[in-house]
A and B are shown apart, each in its own frame.
Chain A
């Protein structure tokens, strides 16, 4: 067990509970995907479980130890976090950015030396991004930057990598590039991963478990194929979806296509009518 959350609750300082009684496990070599509509607190969940934000009640255990009792250096030499938005006030080169990933392993007065530099260059070569080492991070495309940030996360040699919507804003090619990379890291190198995503299809393609939150503050978690069924997605996102199964190179790929909004009244009506209506709606 790499990371365990027990009964985590969080509310914003202005009031308004956003996360309530969250419990989840992240295991070695497994990927957990977090899904849910905009504004339900997916990013907040990632921040709370790593201790960037403090749980109001409940706790996170990193390798069995309460994260609040650990020093920042102890937490972040095991976890790498790639936040969602990226803009940099200063223009660092790709190489400089990757080297910054070593910070949790260097003492407060230490400087990265030739060793860290070679490590970074080696890693960038492995990820086929050597050409980005001299490029200004502010001038990189979304895909290039995401690869550099993945390299920055990996040079930390984490046990757990946390990604906040890594594929958002990328074109098809770069989406596959980034997702394949994450897939390989988790399932071949045995790193644990937690990934926020807006795309159930991507979660189905590479995640093992899913954690889906809805607007009412409840959540469903479990094996990705069980959680991300048409009925659950319809309920959480209030859209009708069609599930397609495609076979490619002997692998069954599931794709989920949203087709129609479920109007608010219908939702209310459905709740009055009970469970059988839910099933009918998702079959449609």
Chain B
């Protein structure tokens, strides 16, 4: 029934497109007012208007909005939209509705980089860059292991991804074991659980271009993912350049995931939860699933971030919240529409 409302002739209705485009910004504006310092809508609009037109506004409100909240929200949009669409792409790549970008080994690789950088007392930008490099490197290894003369074997991609993951996880444990338990270890643990606390425009400048490129690539190739998710022989017989398509897709997923994790640590669940929600609304056609995943992912993560900084006095880690809220919500949705889970 929802599908009829959203779709006509296999495409989104105009109002659905408008809703998908407007949902994240509306939620962003709504969430901007919440936080340690509560800003009622009137104050919010007044401050934003005065600042944007170059006049004097309440300096405290201005700082809270423009220096703290907007970077966080922008980061949540980039990471949420990116991970949502990377998850959907990953599921098509592996023709498995349970696949997530973590399978490629990118998450654990990125984490090793971050831990190493924290132990070596790098600054924030240093941590981010090292994490990103390690994430890219780990997928490079996975990709090399799984490509043979005849292209990329999906089975080998899964196997080498799992192996690289566990290898890097072991390295993580080793590094944590050797880290200073008074100073470095808590910092590492907190970083690994994910947070937008350190959000800044500079961080966004380093991290978001790769997310944007990866997301754009996936968006443009989205219809081809349908074919990719058929059987190996059918995909080969479709006329698409299978090897090139798979490499491109792995690269796009890696760029998004490595950038996201390097910006804000681990944010679990988005890559699994969001594409499934999208599929429940639109069906399995990736032409529709991808844009819906981007919109839902961005909106979801803004909400999660707002909850993380308003629920309690201390900030709650992102991955804790995505799991605590995401898992029951997901189960509820699945129960409601079991037919979509195939």
- B239 x A47 contact (CB < 8 A): no
Nearest CB to that of B237 among chain A residues? Answer: A81
- B233 x A75 contact (CB < 8 A): no
Q: Is B150 an interface residue (CB 8 A)?
A: yes
CB distance from A262 to the nearest CB of B (A): 34
| A153 to B339 alpha-carbon distance, docked (Å) | 27
CB distance from A157 to the nearest CB of B (A): 12
Nearest CB to that of A54 among chain B residues? Answer: B150
- A91 x B233 contact (CB < 8 A): no
Taking each of B222, B226, B241, B279, which has the highest tally of chain A beta carbons within 10 Å of its own beta carbon? B226
Q: Is B42 an interface residue (CB 8 A)?
A: no
Nearest CB to that of B226 among chain A residues? Answer: A100
Q: Is A83 an interface residue (CB 8 A)?
A: yes
Scoring B residues 311 to 342 as 1 if CB is less than 8 Å from chain A, else 0, what string do you get?
Answer: 00000000000000000000000000001101
- B10 x A104 contact (CB < 8 A): no
CB distance from A195 to the nearest CB of B (A): 15
Residues of chain B contacted by A108 (CB below 8 angstroms): 221, 224, 240-241, 245
Scoring A residues 36 to 65 as 1 if CB is less than 8 Å from chain B, else 0, what string do you get?
Answer: 000000000001001010100000000000
Q: Is A79 an interface residue (CB 8 A)?
A: yes
- A76 x B284 contact (CB < 8 A): no
- A91 x B284 contact (CB < 8 A): yes
> Chain B interface residue count: which class?
35 or more
| A117 to B287 alpha-carbon distance, docked (Å) | 13
CB distance from A258 to the nearest CB of B (A): 30
In chain A between 59 and 86, which residues have their CB closer than 8 angstroms to a CB of chain B? 71-73, 75-77, 79-81, 83, 85-86
Q: Is B53 an interface residue (CB 8 A)?
A: no
Residues of chain B contacted by A111 (CB below 8 angstroms): 222-223, 287
Scoring A residues 96 to 131 as 1 if CB is less than 8 Å from chain B, else 0, what string do you get?
Answer: 100010011110111110100100000000000000
- B238 x A76 contact (CB < 8 A): yes
| A138 to B340 alpha-carbon distance, docked (Å) | 11
| A73 to B15 alpha-carbon distance, docked (Å) | 36
- B95 x A89 contact (CB < 8 A): yes
Residues of chain A contacted by B91 (CB below 8 angstroms): 89-90
Partner of B240, one of A72, A90, A92, A136: A72
In chain B between 195 and 231, which residues have their CB closer than 8 angstroms to a CB of chain A? 220-224, 226-227, 229-231
- A117 x B9 contact (CB < 8 A): yes
- A83 x B238 contact (CB < 8 A): no
Q: Is B13 an interface residue (CB 8 A)?
A: no
- B240 x A91 contact (CB < 8 A): no
Residues of chain A contacted by B233 (CB below 8 angstroms): 47, 52, 81, 83
| A76 to B237 alpha-carbon distance, docked (Å) | 6
Scoring B residues 1 to 27 as 1 if CB is less than 8 Å from chain A, else 0, what string do you get?
Answer: 000000001100000000000000000
Q: Is B187 an interface residue (CB 8 A)?
A: no
| A85 to B230 alpha-carbon distance, docked (Å) | 11
Residues of chain A contacted by B173 (CB below 8 angstroms): none
CB distance from A1 to the nearest CB of B (A): 21
- B239 x A75 contact (CB < 8 A): yes
> Chain A interface residue count: which class?
35 or more
Q: Given A72-B242, A89-B96, A117-B9, are A52 and B236 also a contact pair (CB < 8 Å)?
A: yes
Residues of chain B contacted by A95 (CB below 8 angstroms): 10
Q: Given A92-B285, A103-B224, are A85 and B231 also a contact pair (CB < 8 Å)?
A: yes
- A114 x B9 contact (CB < 8 A): yes
- A90 x B237 contact (CB < 8 A): no
- A96 x B237 contact (CB < 8 A): no
- A83 x B284 contact (CB < 8 A): no
CB distance from B294 to the nearest CB of A (A): 16
Q: Is B35 an interface residue (CB 8 A)?
A: no
Scoring B residues 283 to 294 as 1 if CB is less than 8 Å from chain A, else 0, what string do you get?
Answer: 111010000000
- A93 x B283 contact (CB < 8 A): yes
- B223 x A112 contact (CB < 8 A): yes
Residues of chain B contacted by A136 (CB below 8 angstroms): 339, 342
Q: Is A12 an interface residue (CB 8 A)?
A: no
CB distance from B291 to the nearest CB of A (A): 12
Nearest CB to that of A75 among chain B residues? Answer: B239
| A52 to B239 alpha-carbon distance, docked (Å) | 11
| A211 to B240 alpha-carbon distance, docked (Å) | 30
- A100 x B230 contact (CB < 8 A): yes
CB distance from A257 to the nearest CB of B (A): 33
8 A-B pairs whose Cβ atoms sit less than 8 Å apart in the complex:
A50-B237, A76-B239, A80-B237, A81-B237, A89-B91, A96-B283, A103-B239, A136-B339
The 10 A-B residue pairs with the shortest CB-CB distance, nearest first, are A104-B239, A76-B239, A90-B284, A81-B237, A89-B95, A103-B238, A83-B233, A73-B239, A109-B220, A91-B342
Given contacts A73-B240, A96-B283, 20 further A-B contacts (CB under 8 A): A52-B236, A52-B237, A54-B150, A72-B239, A72-B241, A75-B239, A76-B238, A85-B231, A89-B95, A90-B279, A91-B283, A92-B226, A93-B283, A95-B10, A100-B226, A103-B224, A108-B221, A109-B221, A111-B287, A114-B9
